[in-house]
């Protein structure tokens, strides 16, 4: 299927700068047709290209292995781009997002009770992804790291552009897409979330669910605003996260080393 087209898939693990790439880089690539994440499903159809190159992007973690299996069947000659983030920093960022999206558990409760079972997270999690890429898309995948983007954005983008066979531009601007809530705000938000539990299935109507989601989101930002005025300094969140830092990094050390070996 589509043998004459060079097809690239950016399968971004959430919280690995996917939104930055999707908004500040991918739309401005030259000589390549870019499909936004909401149009990802078009890869199953007779999609358009520019200069025979096309790029699809999507964010996933729970369904990543299943998606790779599907891509292997539909686009066996596809080129895969994936960005990994050092485990502790990744988990910490996912936890803060979890609170932002109505979570109320402690850091360790989230890590052990939600993240591990949800992702089937194990000691060689990243390694298993890379080995699947090696087996299903040999020599047609690119591994990048979130830390490289932070430390040397040009190098990160140059490697990605070279992989896609296009020229890098100097017009990309690095900026945070969303300002993260401070730990001080997260302490208050977590308490608020525990008192007013968010039920996304509260309404059967899709329209009502979306309105409820927007209403809930507005309340979260209102609570976060007043939380920023609170004298509390966020030590509780800092302490919880810091207590698990070395243990998590030690547990995933070999896995992260394997990522760096494949950069």
As averages over each run of 10 residues, the pLDDT of the chain (263 residues) reads 78 94 93 95 90 94 96 96 98 95 94 96 98 96 96 94 90 68 91 86 82 87 88 85 96 98 95
Number of alpha carbons in the 13 Å side-chain half-sphere of residue 183: 14
pLDDT of residue 46: 85
**Please, which residues have CB within 8 angstroms of residue 127's CB and are 6 or more apart in sequence?**
254, 255, 258, 259
pLDDT of residue 2: 47
What structural domains and CATH numbers belong to the chain?
A: 6-176+256-261 (3.40.50.300), 183-255 (no CATH)
pLDDT of residue 176: 61
Task: Copy the structure tokens of residue 130.
Answer: 């890379």
pLDDT of residue 1: 45
pLDDT of residue 175: 61
Closest by CA to 57, choosing from 41, 71, 36, 74, is 36
Q: What is the pTM of this model?
A: 0.91
Distance CA 31, CA 80 (A): 18
Distance CA 183, CA 18 (A): 23
End-to-end CA distance of the chain, in Å? 30
pLDDT of residue 125: 98
CB 145 within 8 A of CB 166: no
């Amino acid at each position: 299927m589509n043998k004459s087209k060079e097809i690239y898939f950016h399968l971004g693990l959430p919280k690995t700068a996917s939104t930055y790439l999707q908004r500040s880089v991918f739309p401005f690539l030259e000589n390549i047709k870019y499909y936004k994440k909401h149009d990802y499903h078009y890869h199953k159809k007779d999609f358009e290209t520019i200069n025979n190159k096309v790029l699809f992007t999507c964010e996933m973690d729970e369904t990543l292995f299943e998606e790779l299996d599907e891509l292997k069947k539909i686009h066996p000659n596809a080129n895969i781009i994936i960005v990994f983030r050092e485990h502790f920093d990744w988990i910490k960022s996912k936890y803060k997002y979890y609170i932002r999206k109505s979570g109320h558990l402690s850091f360790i409760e989230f890590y052990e009770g939600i993240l591990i079972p949800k992702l089937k997270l194990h000691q060689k999690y990243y390694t298993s992804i890379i080995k699947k890429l090696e087996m299903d898309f040999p020599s047609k995948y690119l591994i990048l790291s979130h830390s490289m983007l932070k430390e040397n954005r040009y190098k990160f983008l140059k490697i990605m552009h070279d992989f896609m066979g296009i020229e890098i531009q100097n017009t990309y601007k690095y900026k945070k897409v969303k300002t993260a809530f401070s730990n001080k705000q997260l302490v208050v938000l977590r308490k608020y979330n525990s008192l007013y539990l968010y039920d996304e299935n509260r309404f059967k109507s899709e329209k009502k669910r979306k309105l409820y989601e927007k209403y809930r989101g507005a309340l979260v930002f209102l609570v976060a605003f007043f939380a920023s005025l609170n004298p509390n300094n966020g030590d509780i969140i800092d302490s919880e996260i810091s207590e698990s830092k070395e243990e998590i990094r030690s547990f995933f050390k070999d896995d992260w080393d394997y990522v760096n070996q494949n950069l």
